[in-house]
Structure 1
């Protein structure tokens, strides 16, 4: 487990996202909205291309939290969906980077402020997690 002390920077975690990942997520979640797999539909509705599911992007943030905390119990996880993660139609995809800072540790809980980016753009607004820590 990464040491959770107030002010500590959490090491950035990088996750590649491909169109195949979006297809698998659609099957698991039941969200088959064509903006997540059809370039034609996505651009027709004004998007820059096929985009990742917002909840998939949030799940990547949760995955980083799990990595940093060795699967500690998550009490809260939240964000605003502010920018789409555009996923190109190739075998490389796009990289989502999740970084974090420990904001506080008190009463057996650690509050983590997260930063989730695709390229130079923040894709989640105000992402944060609260996890159980050993006292």
Structure 2
């Protein structure tokens, strides 16, 4: 891990979510809600299509910070608000989500990062913030 100062920006992370990722996540999490695999059910509920699990999006987002850390166990706090869904098409391209993180505050051995998650140019997470231990 390198030295970090308030205002520093970590390298962007781009994650592509495909339908098979949703199936794997459903198996791991036990969340088999049909909005995560059935276009028909998603449409019946007024969604624009099958959507990624919110917790999968959240977990993907924090990687922009944990990939930078020497030890992911240095993550001490993390939270987000879900603002828009990530719609995952039934094709090979999937849905590309771009994550970035900026150090908002560094003090007393902790760094607070504001995380941005963009899908199709729109923020899909609000108030995404990670706090990590730093040297």
Q: TM-score, normalising length from structure 2?
A: 0.95
| Inter-CA distance 45–22: structure 2 relative to 1 (3 Å threshold) | same
1:62-101 aligned at under 5 Å gives the runs 62-72=62-72, 73-101=74-102
Say whether residues 1:123 and 2:124 are aligned partners. Answer: yes
Equivalent in the alignment of 1:14: 14
Paired residues of 2:97 and 2:118 also in contact (CA < 8 A): yes
Paired with 1:71 and 1:65, the residues of 2 have a C-alpha distance of: 11
Aligned residues: 134
| Inter-CA distance 92–77: structure 2 relative to 1 (3 Å threshold) | same
Paired residues of 2:52 and 2:87 also in contact (CA < 8 A): yes
Q: TM-score, normalising length from structure 1?
A: 0.95
Say whether residues 1:104 and 2:91 are aligned partners. Answer: no
Unaligned runs of 5+ in 1: none
Equivalent in the alignment of 2:60: 60
SS of the counterpart of 1:69?
coil
Equivalent in the alignment of 1:31: 31
Provide the aligned C-alpha RMSD in A. Answer: 1.0
After superposition, the C-alpha distances for 1:79-111 in whole angstroms (9 at most, x for unaligned) are 101100000001110111110110111111000
Give the superposition deviation at 1:119. Answer: 1.4
